[in-house]
């Protein structure tokens, strides 16, 4: 086995600067969108009294939980002692920091009066999960930076394992806390579920790995660096397993709601009569984002082709945004049960109106603001891999550490 060598991303300068220019332009357009909504007020968005978290929150939450999930690759190599994943640890940490920064940027810009964020950072209400998430987000970023140092600097080598354990525990707490933001909101029938915490952990593993694989394959293909079949087999099998786990939690979440009589109307609306939300659930989340990628990844022929694997990762990401749209916006659109057992004839929150969903359509400024977070994450990643040695020079089979299957086969083969 050869030694793993790291070096910068060395694609031709004209292509690199074109990529940076595109991402910077997208970030600038997002800044203009933020300025427009900040000056005019949030009435120019599609949000209303019922749907107070709109499309920017879909982008923000996706980026935040994917940031936690993408660090799983580094955790597998360090904490779970799987040496085949160790060469991927640096890129995993860089992507985690970049995506968290992108998600938090969208979150802060969408709140309105972002200059008052300092109040939330200096006055804490520890009975609120929002206050705890401030510590979780800032702590996560600090720990991942220390994790990167322990991977890149020889002096940090002895600290790599303990920092890896801390990063694993912290990211699980972060993702559980993000899911608990919704799970602790008892006023919304779709949110009031403790399973949303572990369900978000499962979703983070899927979306984080899909993003990681896309970035890895794009970066290596642009420069002609090799990725061996063994590495691709491990990554695609892991992604398929995570998709199955996420589907399991999704099934349990909806079966639990169906078992509860007070949530019958919610599930009937969401699964059958929810319009765009029903379409995004069945087609976007289940079919496009789960079943189709699993079919590709387990297909004996398609799973061997890089283009199809990249397509499966892209489908997972599309399904991820569909899932966030259904979970965040669809749950708000369903009428609130202000006084269970009683009918309210008229209210701005659409309560008491059977089957009537609150109207919401995302506006262009909201979408552009969310895209700005994605652009920032990719911009940080592109600059990071260009300036620092985050990418291994090769992931060919003779470079990466042998996996357990290869070692077992070598043990079984006896010398003549």
Token pair for 238: 């892991």
Going by pLDDT thresholds of 50, 70 and 90, the confidence category of residue 168 is very high
The CA distance from 386 to 15, in Å, is 12
Mean pLDDT of 165-172: 95
For Cα atoms 380, 314, 172, give the angle at the middle one, nearest 5 degrees. Answer: 65
Is residue 414 included in any domain, yes or no? no
pLDDT of residue 299: 94
Q: How far apart are the first and last CA of the chain?
A: 23
pLDDT of residue 2: 61
Give the lowest-confidence range in 50-64, 118-132, 236-250: 118-132
The CA distance from 251 to 95, in Å, is 30
Percent of the chain at pLDDT > 70 equals 90
Is residue 346 included in any domain, yes or no? no
pLDDT, the chain, mean: 87
Token pair for 256: 């639990």
Is residue 232 included in any domain, yes or no? yes
Is residue 45 included in any domain, yes or no? yes
Mean pLDDT of 56-74: 95
**CB 184, CB 284: distance < 8 Å:** no
The CA distance from 313 to 307, in Å, is 10
pLDDT of residue 347: 55
Q: How many structural domains does the chain have?
A: 1
pLDDT of residue 410: 41
Is residue 57 included in any domain, yes or no? yes
For Cα atoms 192, 260, 290, give the angle at the middle one, nearest 5 degrees. Answer: 70
pLDDT tens readout for residues 115-163: 777 776 777 777 777 778 888 898 999 999 999 999 988 888 899 999 9
pLDDT of residue 412: 40
Token pair for 195: 């399973």
The more confidently predicted of residues 300 and 126 is 300
Contacts of 342 (CB under 8 A, 6+ apart): 352
The more confidently predicted of residues 118 and 355 is 118
Going by pLDDT thresholds of 50, 70 and 90, the confidence category of residue 63 is very high
Domain of residue 182, residue span: 6-339+352-403
Token pair for 184: 């602790």
CATH number at residue 306: 1.20.1630.10
pLDDT tens readout for residues 262-292: 788 888 888 998 889 999 999 999 999 999 9
**CB 369, CB 106: distance < 8 Å:** yes
Give the lowest-confidence range in 48-57, 110-119, 162-171: 110-119
Give Cα 272 distance to the centre of its chain. 27
Mean pLDDT of 375-388: 93
Residue 359 has pLDDT above 90, yes or no: no
pLDDT of residue 284: 95
pLDDT tens readout for residues 185-240: 877 888 888 899 999 999 999 999 999 999 999 999 888 889 999 999 999 999 99
**CB 391, CB 9: distance < 8 Å:** yes
The more confidently predicted of residues 336 and 368 is 368
The more confidently predicted of residues 414 and 271 is 271
Burial class (CB in 10 A: 0-12, 13-18, 19+), 236: buried
Tokens 């006084």 correspond to what residue? 339
CA distances from 33 to 24, 49, 114, 224, 236 (A): 14, 22, 14, 37, 37
Mean pLDDT of 78-102: 93
Going by pLDDT thresholds of 50, 70 and 90, the confidence category of residue 320 is very high
What is the value of pTM for the model shown?
A: 0.90
Going by pLDDT thresholds of 50, 70 and 90, the confidence category of residue 340 is low
């Amino acid at each position: 086995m050869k030694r793993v060598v790291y070096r910068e991303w060395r694609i031709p300068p004209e292509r690199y600067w074109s990529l940076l220019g595109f991402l910077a332009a997208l970030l600038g357009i997002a800044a203009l969108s933020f300025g427009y909504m900040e000056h005019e007020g949030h009435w120019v968005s599609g949000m209303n009294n019922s749907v107070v978290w709109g499309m920017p929150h879909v982008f923000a939450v996706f980026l935040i939980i994917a940031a936690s999930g993408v660090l799983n690759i580094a955790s597998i190599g360090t904490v779970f002692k799987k040496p085949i994943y160790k060469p991927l640890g640096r890129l995993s940490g860089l992507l985690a920091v970049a995506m968290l920064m992108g998600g938090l940027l969208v979150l802060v810009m969408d709140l309105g009066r972002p200059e008052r964020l300092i109040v939330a950072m200096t006055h804490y209400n520890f009975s609120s999960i929002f206050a705890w998430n401030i510590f979780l987000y800032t702590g996560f970023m600090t720990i991942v930076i220390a994790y990167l140092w322990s991977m890149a600097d020889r002096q940090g080598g002895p600290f790599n394992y303990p920092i890896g354990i801390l990063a694993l525990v912290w990211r699980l707490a972060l993702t559980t806390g993000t899911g608990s933001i919704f799970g602790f909101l008892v006023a919304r029938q779709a949110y009031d579920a403790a399973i949303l915490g572990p369900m978000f952990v499962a979703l983070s593993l899927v979306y984080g790995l899909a993003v990681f694989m896309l970035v890895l394959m794009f970066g290596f293909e642009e420069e002609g660096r090799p990725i061996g079949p063994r590495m691709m087999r491990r990554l695609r099998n892991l992604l398929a397993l995570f998709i199955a786990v996420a589907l399991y939690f999704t099934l349990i979440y909806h079966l639990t709601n169906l078992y509860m009589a007070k949530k019958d109307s919610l599930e009937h609306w969401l699964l059958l009569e929810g319009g765009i939300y029903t379409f995004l659930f069945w087609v976007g989340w289940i079919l496009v984002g789960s079943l189709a990628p699993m079919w590709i990844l387990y297909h004996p022929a398609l799973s061997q082709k890089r283009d199809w694997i990249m397509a499966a990762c892209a489908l997972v990401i599309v399904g991820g945004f569909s899932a966030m749209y259904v979970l965040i916006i669809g749950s708000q659109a369903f009428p609130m049960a202000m006084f269970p057992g009683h009918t309210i004839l008229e209210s701005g929150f659409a309560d008491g109106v059977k089957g009537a969903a609150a109207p919401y359509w995302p506006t262009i400024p909201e979408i552009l603001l969310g895209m700005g977070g994605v652009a920032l994450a990719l911009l940080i990643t592109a600059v990071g891999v260009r300036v620092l040695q985050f990418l291994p020079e090769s992931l060919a089979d003779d470079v990466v550490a042998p996996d357990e299957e290869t070692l077992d086969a070598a043990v079984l083969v006896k010398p003549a």
